[in-house]
Amino acid sequence: MAALFHLARDETKAATTQDVQASLRNVQEMTKIAEHEIHAIVMSCARARRQMLAVLPATKPTLH
């Protein structure tokens, strides 16, 4: 993403319509991958937290 940002800011390099379209497709694909990876991390952390809390003895239950 940073490389794409620097390339876009560089006015000495002309970009064709095909270059811009290819870059946009790449960004869309990287966004899908990043969302999938972040989701996997969040789910893993939630699972680890549930497991950790299940093992700890509750001396004083939380009142809601």
The pLDDT value given to residue 61: 67
Low-confidence stretches of the chain (pLDDT < 50) are: none
Question: Measured between alpha carbons, how far is 46 from 54 in angstroms, rounded to an integer?
Answer: 12
The pLDDT value given to residue 45: 97
Q: Report the SS3 class of residue 7.
A: helix
Q: Dihedrals φ, ψ of 15, to 5°?
A: -110, 140
The pLDDT value given to residue 38: 98
One-letter amino acid identity for 2? A
Encoded tokens for 46: 């939630």
The pLDDT value given to residue 64: 67
The pLDDT value given to residue 51: 92
Residues in the chain: 64
pTM above 0.95, yes or no: no
The pLDDT value given to residue 57: 76
